[in-house]
A and B are shown apart, each in its own frame.
Chain A
């Protein structure tokens, strides 16, 4: 809807091919996956074959080592597949789970997970949130006690995307009980390790994705599964949070844009009182306002994406982008659904799903209130 300014043509060619791929291989199955509540394994393999999980990872591990704009396009196009649950699953694996292994993991871990994660043989989850603590990372309770060559993990994690079906879980644990933020570490836990169990959660939306409650009961994990240094987990997580928020902002705006285009299409076809409803001024102005706000959010995201690509550190700005984009997405979905009238409430049109899928945006990856805390601290001290 808004032309990106001064962009290189190559990433846009990638967009075209990705869009074709999704239209051919993915879109026909989306409804079935939404009903089944999971995504079949061949999809991961297919994505791996196409190279979509390795866009930003080194060639040595099978990645493509491309600039961040390719990742932006990947996120945007996935967010236009009429299933944010599907998008979340496909984004969480490379951008949440693999990113930590690539950024801070040992050669051993990279050999073991990065290569097979990029080629789609294995897929992962990132588990931070617990029943009692989410953004308050320093207060996590899941313990990992070192016993010789092993860590023994006890505790639980919840709201974990890919938490039930994934092959491995990058887990935030407390290795030093007394130390608060300084005692947090990241460790990779394989599915199937004795003592590990997961339960699928029922959700308002995101139906295609499996969101898990994971229990760790005396789970023994070899010490070499630790990512980076013990006690550095908080730092690793904080470092990647900015990226996660930018990703959510990009995804929120892409979904909003998709919903608006979908709605404008409907409004051009739907007649009331003898004319298409896109001729009614009050609806026109509402859509104009939404289009303007979407453009603003998109330009802001792109500005930050450019800065991210250039290596800038932008915690405050990414929190701002996430806050605004997810709020906007909720607003756009609410208003767009309204334009469909009764049909908007029916599953015949995708707007109902878009509406419920959007609602997690202002909660996941740090709620709007957490974003405001971060911004306020940066602005007011």
Chain B
């Protein structure tokens, strides 16, 4: 399976990284676990090696590698016998800094992103609060605009890198009346006046610092706002994708590592005159786990490839996160059992693997949240658009009641620009089956033509005749693209009128997603 995803370059990179971790990390993890802290110099070394900028352009000091280098990175850092260690660079590179890269100003990129890539600064993403986690629309931390700064008040909790880290990408409410459209992202320096933190004691992940943070009249310059005010929720929805995928990659790698570690032990440990790996009941248990790990890995790589190609696989990534973290709990429980009494002792690493795994089905959205997302997509045929491509306009008006993880319907309805929709349509048309004919969306004045009469589907906006013409408003079309309007419903309710070859129209679903 690996041969479908990894090239020789990836494997060389893996080898180099593995050597680096064997030297710089593995010999020290026990003491870091004990101390509850990882020395900051380590991240400079990671930065020097380029490990914190795999996903970022060279302009910011990154490597600009394809996503499978990141897959290798996440897999290898998950094999260091310390989930607390693993999570720090994962958060840094895949869960926090992407928001600055994707939506931040040049100023923020200069000031924070380059220094996160170099390992000089450690960052965290502060979403959860004592009263709200995945329910991000209901967060309470308030940021009030006052001249050239925001005044932030509130509290965050369960924040990885939140105690020893340098800056926090903080989810705040800039407009408490606006629901999801009132959420924004602010970069807050950990040392700002008014920020206080308490280190939380945890079941596992001992090497990592997890904090409860308080913001008491914290002044944050307005240039520390990421992207647009009111867009925070959509940025999060786009970003959580990668966070979940990273979590799934890490969990599967952790399973593989635990199984290898257990197999080693089972070949050495004797009982009743033979190594315990000869007992059939244990062998079958291993076989079952090996099969589940292998198949979960196939799903995770599948999602990684979609991500690498710029796709947006909400359903698949949620499935991968759900299954991979559930599997990790199962694998750790069963593997610990193979060690008998030794499994309960700290002299073997399986005890730590066991407790470190337990957060997987909770962090980054619980298994229950994953199932909510999947159920909406599978049962209610809901689709989630990518905020990065077809983004709704921020609105200061009150938002309608919205689904938790979905782009909000904003009031008053916005008028999207056709230009903004083009990349999405073009991408979808390229992936869809060749139409075999031409299709025109007529927005009354503007139009979009899908010419599938040749070898591929070509998208353009010049007016021309077509085998089939669809009359629709740009607003409704945008809703179609974002999955908020079902094509069948649109047709039946008259929002979409079809003239000409109905056969072409039947293929709409493939393009509209």
Contacts and interface: CB of A to CB of B under 8 A. Distances in A.
Interface of A: 1-2, 5, 9, 12, 264, 267-268, 278, 284-285, 287-289, 291-293, 295-297, 299-300, 303, 306-307, 317, 319-321, 323-324, 369, 371-376, 379-381
B459 to A, nearest CB: 18
A317 B294 contact: yes
Contacts of B257: none
Interface stretch (B114-122, B138-146, B283-291): B283-291
Contacts of A5: 302, 305-306
Interface in B359-402: 368, 370-372, 374-375, 378-379
B316 interface: yes
Contacts of A373: 283-284, 287
B422 to A, nearest CB: 22
Given A295-B319, A296-B296, A296-B319, A287 B379 contact: yes
Contact of A323 (B267, B288, B301, B305): B288
Contact of B379 (A264, A317, A379): A264
Interface string B332-347: 0000000000000000
Contacts of A267: 379
A371 B301 CA distance: 24
Given A278-B379, A320-B295, 14 more contacts: A5-B306, A264-B378, A284-B379, A285-B368, A288-B375, A289-B322, A292-B323, A296-B296, A296-B298, A296-B319, A306-B4, A321-B295, A372-B288, A380-B266
Given A285-B375, A296-B323, A12 B433 contact: yes
Contacts of B375: 284-285, 287-288
B263 interface: yes
Which of A5, A268, A371, A374 has its CB near the most chain B CB atoms (within 10 A)? A5
A89 to B, nearest CB: 28
B192 to A, nearest CB: 41
Contacts of A303: 1, 4, 298, 301-302
B277 interface: yes
A296 B266 CA distance: 29
A14 to B, nearest CB: 13
Which of B263, B301, B319, B370 has its CB near the most chain A CB atoms (within 10 A)? B319
B290 A320 contact: yes
A115 B434 CA distance: 35
Contacts of B305: 5
A289 B325 CA distance: 13
Contacts of B379: 264, 267-268, 278, 284, 287-288
B223 interface: no
Contacts of B96: none
Interface in B288-323: 288, 290-292, 294-296, 298-299, 301-302, 305-306, 315-316, 318-320, 322-323
Contacts of B294: 300, 317, 320
Closest 5 CB pairs between A and B? A320-B291, A375-B287, A376-B283, A300-B295, A292-B319
Contacts of B286: 376, 379-380
Contacts of A374: 287
B371 A380 contact: no
A291 B375 CA distance: 9
Contacts of A297: 295
A299 B299 contact: yes
Contacts of B299: 295-296, 299-300
Contacts of A268: 379
Nearest to A320: B291
Contacts of A296: 295-296, 298-299, 319-320, 323
A319 B302 CA distance: 20
